[in-house]
Amino acid sequence: TMLMVYQTTPILVRSPQPLGFGGDAVASATVQLPFMIVILVFAPSSGFIVSKIGNLKPTVAGTIIMTVGFFSLFIFHSTEFMVAINLAIVAAGISLIQVGAFNITMEYTPLRFSGVSLGMSVVLVLIGSSIGPAIAAIYMQTHQELAKGVGSGSFPSPVSYNLIFLTAALISVISVSIVMILKRRMTQSSLKKSEMEATR
């Protein structure tokens, strides 16, 4: 979802009006700057948060924040400012998820399988990073319109951006449900451990 939306934003900003914002490269960078600033600030601080309150709470909070950000981006993306603010919200959620999720993977994997588990996690991230932009490209290529005053050039239509942002939001909802299942299983696992210790 991150790369699906992040690589779509420059095309939205630079496409001519009314299909985009009609901005230049500087405008595109300005829209994406809040996303990068939040990632830069939250990435180190999320490690501190995880060390204080554990892995699960930041991961749950991160998926919820990310989902809210994507739905907000789907509903409100008519101006550059709205897109920038919503990307910043998404970045805050993603920062919390990344640290918490990898820590959970390492904590609940037997030590002898930790390398395999971490490697599989990285591979899944890379697969997602490849699939997201491909989905966005399919939407943008399928739904195009001719822009007035730009000769014969065609650009992604507003429908394509709606579909991209909606897809990202729906995938985020799936993430929230998966994290809730994980939370329940972790709670059950901790209860079993405490019962085993009590019987000993």
pLDDT tens column, 1-57? 888 888 899 999 999 888 889 899 999 999 999 999 998 888 777 667 777 887 788
Contact 133, 102 (CB under 8 A): no
Contact 40, 171 (CB under 8 A): no
Return the pLDDT at 152.
61
pLDDT > 90? residue 68: yes
Average pLDDT over residues 153-167: 92
Return the pLDDT at 6.
82
Identify the CA nearest to 8 among candidates 32, 27, 30.
Answer: 32
Distance (Å, rounded) from C-alpha 183 to C-alpha 131?
Answer: 27
Q: What is the mean pLDDT of the chain?
A: 87
